[in-house]
Structure 1
Amino acid sequence: MAEKGYINPIVIQRADPFVHKHTDGYYYFTASVPEYDRIEIRRSKTLQGLGDAEVFTAWTKHNEGEMSHLIWAPEIHFIKGKWYIYFAAAGNGEVTGITFNHRMYVIENDNADPFTYNWVEKGQVKTGWETFSLDATTFEHKDKLYYVWAQEEAEVEPKSHSNLYIAEMENPWTLKTKPVLLSRPELEWEIARFWVNEGPAILKKSGKIFLTYSASATDENYCMGMLTAYENSNLLDASSWAKNQEPVFKTAWENGQYGPGHNCFTVSEDGTEDIIVYHARNYTEIVGDPLYDPNRHARVEVIKWNEDGTPNFGVPSKDENISELQKITCREMSLV
């Protein structure tokens, strides 16, 4: 069991989880749905309650053209009085195997309640390259809004499917500065099967900014890496960021949790503990492409802090909130 009474998983069959704790006391949760065809939001006053919370469909994919296939990894943010959801989507065309044509998009809601049907499409976030891109996140720091994302750029690394970039934003759907490369897959654990850096997430603590990301394939090789910058440094200077040479969160064979990653951060209900939210699978025998296996479940752990001020994510805890029958049922569903 995770500390503070959290029982994992908190939400079954929801990959790429993202949680925003709002000023109204609710946790707002969104994630990739197994059908990859819509964006859902749910809310609860507790993290544990998200599993049984009301589900609201904020947006549904287009029937054709752009934003019509494989809706991935939505994130819900509240920026300057409005709600924004960032997500990746593919258009018409061949999107099998590892050949995808995703771009990054934003929808906006100016209502105080995001469970309302006035989400407006703000369009594609243009980076200057029309290449595979996904997993955008935003964060505010010193009155500036930053955008961090993953994108393929063959000139940087021909074998890479996605590198990590950062830019300052003019507004929540437009970049102000040119992309700056922060990380590319190069270490052994980043290229175990696929050459991937993706899923960036931001955690601020003790004068530092920690940028975690996920690497390698979406099977048991999937794991988390981390970059660190001082809060007073120039965040648009790649040299401000130091890269950990080893993964900071990875498969826990002893606990039956495989491929943890695509995380975000929030705080406990009483605000005293930092929390990592992530997904993982509870088996390794995947039939077909791991991407289309629906059983990546959303999970949480309480973060410990090392003496040097860096986060210690520990290891993924055992499943306690899913029965053996549910595991079997989930796996059978993945074979349909």
Structure 2
Amino acid sequence: MRKGKGNIEAIYNKPWILQRADPYVYRHEDGAYYFTSSVPAYDGIVIRKSDTLEGLAQAEEVEVWHMHENGVMSHHIWAPEIHYINGAWYIYFAAGEAEAVWNIRPYVLECKDADPLTGTWTEKGKMGRADGDEFSFEAFSLDATVFENKGKYYYVWAEKVGVGKQISNLYIGEMESPYKLRTVQVLLTTPDYDWERIGFWVNEGPAVIKKNGKIFLTYSASETGVAYCMGMMTADEDSDLLDPLSWRKERNPVLQTKEEIGIYGPGHNSFTVDEEGNDILVYHARTESEIVGNPLYNPNRHAMLMKVKWNENGMPVFDFGK
């Protein structure tokens, strides 16, 4: 394990881990940090481990699973997240098929060994929808995250509907097991506002942070270039999280491009804490305004860190300043 000593203050809102989009950081109960992300080749799932947050940048990267040669899970391996649920490790990710690369669906891996870097990962297949649910995971589905509240686990994901360019919405369901939903899908948010509709109509990349009796769900919107940005929804932790009326959506983005400091298209975030317990936003962004080639395949989305501030109303503030 990498200890990683140094001045972490110097790395906020700068490229931290290069060419690692959709970054996800999990701090385990023993204090160890785990990092995973999409890799530029979109061909497998990697994990890093360190006993400090800063140390993840230099930690050895281990590929724990590689895509199939054909069939499902054989193309576009995207946005993995690593979670620890009921004594086992789970990776949630999206993948397409070599024969139909845009048949993106959500899948689950399980590891029951103590160390997820050296343990055996078992494929649990496509995420299972609830009995009676005819819709979930039948179309382009990706960016799943999992969170716990009041002893229940919830699964939030993006799925496209409609025709033409299609619309990417966010849905939520309660989980029956780490790889099956108990409840039918509930629509959380659709791209309502102009800043969610640039290039494509997109809500994706959900992430959850809980504080002050509230659940804050951030998500990303619009195409993946300069327009990419973060929105947020809020619910009371005692409310019915499967009731769309429990959630309040912010009218404006909570994080977006800041040209003055050279950060473009911040989004697809996760949350963790530093060694002192301070809340940290982990996100990806670009450092150039002009993207060479197709934005999807340009590798220059870098993982970055930001301190989360909290205002007098108990709401998170995402500010590029220290």
TM-score, normalized by length of structure 1? 0.89
Matched residues in 2 for 1:316 and 1:286: separation?
Answer: 25
Aligned to 1:41: 47
The structure 1 residue matched to 2:305, chosen from 291, 300, 303, is 300
The structure 2 residue matched to 1:67, chosen from 65, 73, 83, is 73
The letter for the 1-side match of 2:283 is: Y
Listed as ranges, the gaps of 5+ residues in structure 2 are 1-6
Aligned-pair CA distance for 1:47: 1.7
Q: What pairs up with 1:221-236 in 2 under 5 angstroms?
A: 221-236=227-242
Secondary structure of the corresponding residue to residue 250 of structure 1:
coil
Secondary structure of the corresponding residue to residue 301 of structure 1:
strand
Higher helix share: 1
Work out whether residues 13 and 33 of structure 1, in 8 Å CA contact, stay in contact via their aligned partners in 2. yes
* Mapped pair 1:112 → 2:120: no
The structure 1 residue matched to 2:147, chosen from 131, 139, 153, is 139
Aligned-pair CA distance for 1:26: 1.1
Range 210-219 or range 49-58, more displaced: 49-58
Matched residues in 1 for 2:45 and 2:225: separation?
Answer: 24
* Mapped pair 1:239 → 2:245: yes
Work out whether residues 69 and 98 of structure 2, in 8 Å CA contact, stay in contact via their aligned partners in 1. no
* Mapped pair 1:277 → 2:277: no
The structure 1 residue matched to 2:88, chosen from 70, 82, 85, is 82
Aligned to 1:252: 258
How big is each residue's C-alpha offset from its partner over 1:235-291, in whole Å with a ceiling of 9 and x where there is no partner? 0000100000100000010100100000000011121x1000000000021122101
Q: What stretches of structure 1 move > 3 A for 4+ residues in a row?
A: 2-7, 157-161
Matched residues in 1 for 2:321 and 2:189: separation?
Answer: 25
How big is each residue's C-alpha offset from its partner over 1:87-141, in whole Å with a ceiling of 9 and x where there is no partner? 000013354xxxx210000000001111124100001013443100000000111
Aligned to 1:12: 18
Q: What pairs up with 1:89-238 in 2 under 5 angstroms?
A: 89-95=95-101, 100-127=102-129, 128-129=134-135, 130-154=138-162, 160-238=166-244
Matched residues in 2 for 1:86 and 1:246: separation?
Answer: 29
The letter for the 1-side match of 2:159 is: Q
Secondary structure of the corresponding residue to residue 189 of structure 1:
helix
Matched residues in 2 for 1:124 and 1:20: separation?
Answer: 23
The letter for the 2-side match of 1:214 is: S
Aligned to 1:329: none
Matched residues in 2 for 1:246 and 1:159: separation?
Answer: 23
Secondary structure of the corresponding residue to residue 103 of structure 2:
coil
The structure 2 residue matched to 1:23, chosen from 22, 25, 29, is 29
Work out whether residues 234 and 240 of structure 1, in 8 Å CA contact, stay in contact via their aligned partners in 2. yes
Secondary structure of the corresponding residue to residue 292 of structure 1:
coil
The structure 2 residue matched to 1:263, chosen from 248, 265, 269, is 269
Q: How many residues were matched structurally?
A: 309
Matched residues in 2 for 1:181 and 1:71: separation?
Answer: 25
The letter for the 1-side match of 2:230 is: M
Work out whether residues 160 and 184 of structure 1, in 8 Å CA contact, stay in contact via their aligned partners in 2. no
Could you tell me the percent identity over the aligned residues? Answer: 57
Matched residues in 2 for 1:291 and 1:226: separation?
Answer: 23
Higher strand share: 2
Distance 1:61 1:288, change over 3 A: same
TM-score, normalized by length of structure 2? 0.93
Work out whether residues 28 and 42 of structure 1, in 8 Å CA contact, stay in contact via their aligned partners in 2. yes
Secondary structure of the corresponding residue to residue 263 of structure 1:
strand
Aligned-pair CA distance for 1:72: 0.2
Matched residues in 2 for 1:192 and 1:207: separation?
Answer: 33
